[in-house]
A and B are shown apart, each in its own frame.
Chain A
């Protein structure tokens, strides 16, 4: 029985494929049955027989509903440049960062507070460390640890450290130069920027102090032509020069 049924299926499929179709039709099955030696005419009568055994449908057991895959939001629809036939985006949770930490502190006041105390702590720790590891001076004779001052140490070339901007400042300079646009959007600073534009006689000194940035640009081209005695090459001594 089993063999027959599967044979019917297999053959029917072969027939339909033979006729370049994918779905078997009724005629395919008829041909198959004929091939297998069944009398097709008798089939309707067989089906309508009185003592036909009725197999009841299996009782619909409450199948445990397989839990739906966790949907973390709607799958993103394709943007216009992706043809519709491409596969859909995977579920968002597979690629969207899931915030797992507390909401960041965005309160300005708290932030400033934190930055300030953090910097202060770092500075304090650092200076204390430096004071501990080096020579110190003290304001109180009896106590050297509460307010330790790093001992003053003379420099060999004192003007260099005093005049040249420190590396930190240089770094900041570069940062502020590049982030000048961002600066403008800083709401806290905005009113000050606007106020620079007001006029008044004393304004003059402000504008004068603004430094000339176009300086370096104009200069490179001319450099070669400059005739300055200090740039001329040093001459070789003449033979007659004898001291």
Chain B
């Protein structure tokens, strides 16, 4: 959006500039989960006729708005609460996505919009015309927030501090508006003063410097005063309050760590490494950490594992670990490093608009990658890059592409750059979570491509330039126009690249940033002996979704007898064949060492190769400098040479995957050799295990000797004197630890001629479990034991069932009995001696599900449901839920699906809610082209409701619901619904019924707005008729956001007009209340509507099932409504003060 303005700098979409904001939260009630406070924004108008100020606010009840101490009228309107209004029978996702994007646009701060519109009092107009400062003071409260702020209040005895109750801010992208009114944009920077009054036993951690902590008069509470002098976007403001234990970092005293009570020893160990990350980043960026302090807070029930905010990061408490834990250590360190990288790019340097997000994610991901390389080594780094590349390629090919830098033409939505997706990519809040993850992944890969082009040195210079510009700008205290230097834009970033490096990277940007899709290469070759030339053929597939055509250089590495040679081919439009001259004459009999790429010279046994050809192996794009998928054909011995002798781990992994197709003794030998080689990267060896298992299964009829890997395992990990007994655990050598964990899991995948797991292997694994002895080990063996259970689960094969007998104990397979014995014991022991992160319980639950699925144990979700309850550790819950999801699919259980969806709506933990939808999407009970008894109208309605209004408090959840809807029903109208015409007839009938006076409240309940109007006027309004007519007339298949937006507005305005006669009208569902009534009417409207939507929800459901009771219900409802209506005016007539005491006792605290 800002791109057309070029690099002239940032132009604010708002007619004012925010310079300073005060957030004061003077009461937090953990019992009621409520927050009371005020904000004060200091703004400078930039245009003379500023008469409205639009701010963002969600969920907050706003009591009072004052501008320069004058009461100001305000309107609260949030179209995202309910995306599609008037319970229409419209059920197609296209329509929803457009409407949703329109709703988000309508409140998008980057377009100068907001949910809260404040009218500048007319007394101040003159003041504004002189562009003088305005102070906007807003009193608000938050009651039981469903998003934005998350309260964790354990249900036990004791004070809140003793219980470990805490609260923290959370959300996806800019979500600060959920907990205080602000300009919730990454591009509106200002300085901050933050004040939190909390219980004396609690600590409030927030952004900036803690200036002082002061007791209140009664000495029972204290106030934390924070100042943040570095201009920061509201979206980077965060808060965590709880009875935290405080740890000052022993290496850097300005860094403070916080964790929940009793976890201090873990915190000490976990954070003991952080200073090295700091040093690393500061060194490569040649720039000090921009903030004067840094805080890490570890909290429970985290929204995401890592969330970075200005000068503080919020982590999941589950990242904490003790020194005994091996597996979690690198993961946690990666999280810490990630969070810190985002401090520089993401928090300190912010973005101009959503389409510049890729720069920030790219840079922070890229420098995080550099840290990985330094810390875990080149092998791990390359492995990671390869993994990320594979992921993004798979995702793009599946969905049709990820676009880093979407450019939106002025309003023309027809040329939507992402028409292949079922959501709009115009806003972060409409993105599917998976898409966003992949987006970040692609961003850092593209940064790496840029580095390949301009060299790392220049790259770091560019970063340094961005940072030093920003830090100069940030110190300009009173020149807020300078602050836009702290915002990064795509064009600005590209400009500094060309300034610093002098290189033109435009083609690269065009290919990977401005355009979506990856490249798909198919390669094959032939050796021409006469000409001594390698004839390489490289084809591209650029017609499938998610692909694009690549034109440009492509590196090919050829390993010949005389050495390794790089060739750069020019991929052009029509040239498929490339002739590469070979350096070596074909095989000479002289035994000679063969030089490798890295200069090493090795002896090879060349007997396997083709005597006529000097080629050992060929690699296409070995440096991964194109976002691509390569399918290359070469013979098995070449893959084997590549596996044995190529030193690049990526090449080795590719070779392993390719060898799966060549089940020969030679492949077996190559894999076994790799497995035994201790110099080899451990992940390659782990991968080789699984490949070996597959090969062994393919070769089952000719396989000789003991089961694959058994003798190897015995040699490596079992006692010399008694080979059937494993040595006592000693995990000092991490490589062999990982190998020891993996081998049994892979071995369990072996199958004999009857396609059963060989008895020998099963016994072997059972022996490993039996003789496992960790008493002398320095490390915990919980992950190892968990993997042994996984191995048991892997060994399970489908039960032979005779005419569908019921699974009982008597006909239990004896092998399964042994397995079950172990699982039972492990699961029970976990209750007495729980393992770290309950890894063993997780594995046991998975194994039980495998047994159920294979028909050994009766399929029953009850066990999993009990483990999925709130109160279990999150990993356990996820594992249990996964099993329930799987059960839902396999047994097509409507009941379980309902249970899951109820949990999506009601579970206290946002992550679980999100994860259920995610798992349902990945493992759906049915898909759009499938007949399923589950697919019925009620389910459609339920899901529709969920994404339409049930998830308005959490962007991520709503997008998750959209994803699920898409997976189940596709983009168009679900096939299980009656034909649209029929739907309309039904609609007609309903609307006819509307005319019946007894049923009027039904339509009232159907829509929140009319209720409101009746409130204001004290009598029912008679426009239902027109309303229903217009709906019938409306052609519902909307193509564009524009249309639907207009559609919504049209209706809304129509509804609104009678309600506010004579009042000023602006677009949207807007009511301008007289000043005196404003504070209350807004909030009563909100509460009212939420109540009604509840009723409505309930009602609707009933409506489906019990049509007979229709009238009765409606009458009842009518009464209920009217009762409420009677109440409301009463509240209205009260003064704000008295209303407060009625509505919100927390205020008086």
Contacts and interface: CB of A to CB of B under 8 A. Distances in A.
B828 A127 contact: yes
B449 interface: no
A176 interface: yes
A208 B246 contact: no
Given A176-B777, A202-B380, A228-B253, A140 B808 contact: yes
Interface in A37-69: none
Interface string B299-328: 010000000000000000110111110100
B487 to A, nearest CB: 29
B260 interface: yes
A202 B682 contact: yes
Contact of A127 (B222, B324, B825, B838): B825
Interface string A128-160: 001100000101111100111111111111111
Contacts of A160: 262-263
A205 B376 contact: yes
A165 interface: yes
Interface string A194-216: 01101011111110110110010
Given A130-B828, A147-B821, A108 B833 contact: no
B250 A219 contact: yes
Contacts of B776: 176, 179, 183, 186, 189
Contacts of A168: 833
B214 A237 contact: yes
A163 B824 contact: no
A112 interface: yes
Given A142-B809, A150-B828, A205 B375 contact: yes
A115 B827 CA distance: 21
Interface string A108-136: 11001101110010011011001100000
Contacts of A166: 833-834
Interface in B673-697: 678-679, 681-682
A238 to B, nearest CB: 8
Interface string A69-90: 0000000000000000000000
B248 interface: yes
A222 B250 contact: yes
Interface string A12-25: 00000000000000
Contact of B719 (A147, A176, A188): A188
A193 interface: yes
Interface string B144-161: 000000000011100000
Contacts of A102: none
Interface string A211-243: 110010011001000111111101111100101
Contacts of A222: 250
Interface centre among A108, A188, A193, A226 (most CB of B within 10 A): A188
B732 A192 contact: yes
B735 interface: yes
A208 B273 CA distance: 9
B253 A227 contact: yes
B858 interface: yes
B210 interface: yes
Contacts of A236: 214-215
A69 B3 CA distance: 112
A11 B209 CA distance: 114
Contacts of B250: 215, 218-219, 222
A162 interface: yes
Contacts of B858: 139-141
A159 B828 contact: no
Nearest to A190: B730
Contact of A112 (B266, B268, B722, B736): B722
A195 B734 CA distance: 11
A151 B324 contact: no
A162 B719 CA distance: 33
Nearest to B295: A230
Contacts of B164: 157
Contacts of A181: none
Contacts of B721: 108-109
B269 A162 contact: no
B770 interface: yes
Contacts of B679: 198, 200
A10 to B, nearest CB: 80
Given A109-B725, A188-B728, A198-B679, A169 B780 contact: yes
A195 B736 contact: yes
B247 to A, nearest CB: 9
Interface centre among B246, B263, B376 (most CB of A within 10 A): B376
B718 to A, nearest CB: 10
B808 A164 contact: no
Given A150-B831, A201-B378, A209 B330 contact: yes
Interface residues of B, number: 109
A228 B205 CA distance: 13
Contact of B872 (A116, A152, A169, A204): A152
A237 B215 contact: yes
Interface stretch (B421-429, B702-710, B861-869): B861-869
B1099 interface: no
Nearest to B731: A192
A36 interface: no
Interface in B380-408: 380
Contacts of B829: 123, 127
Nearest to A211: B323
B480 interface: no
Contacts of A229: 209-213, 293
B869 A139 contact: no
A177 B454 CA distance: 50
A158 B838 CA distance: 10
Contacts of A153: 831
Contacts of B1026: none
B863 A139 contact: yes
A175 to B, nearest CB: 8
Contacts of B834: 161-162, 166
B676 to A, nearest CB: 12
A27 interface: no
Contacts of B1067: none
Contact of A156 (B154, B268, B326, B375): B154
Interface string B963-1005: 0000000000000000000000000000000000000000000
Nearest to B197: A243
A34 interface: no
B848 interface: yes
B737 to A, nearest CB: 10
Nearest to B328: A163
B377 A189 contact: no
B721 to A, nearest CB: 6
B142 to A, nearest CB: 20
B376 A204 contact: yes
A164 to B, nearest CB: 7
B603 to A, nearest CB: 19
Contacts of A109: 719, 721-722, 725
Interface string B1083-1118: 000000000000000000000000000000000000
Contacts of A200: 678-679
B214 A201 contact: no
Contacts of B322: 164-165
B256 interface: yes
Interface in B867-921: 867, 869-875
Contacts of B836: 162-163, 165
Contacts of A177: 778
B156 A205 contact: no
13 contacts: A137-B863, A161-B838, A162-B834, A163-B318, A164-B263, A169-B324, A192-B727, A201-B378, A204-B375, A206-B733, A208-B376, A231-B248, A237-B216
Given A147-B824, A196-B732, 12 more contacts: A116-B771, A137-B866, A139-B858, A154-B872, A156-B155, A164-B266, A172-B774, A188-B728, A204-B375, A206-B733, A230-B203, A232-B212
Nearest 5 Cβ contacts at the A-B interface:
A154-B871, A127-B828, A229-B210, A109-B722, A204-B377
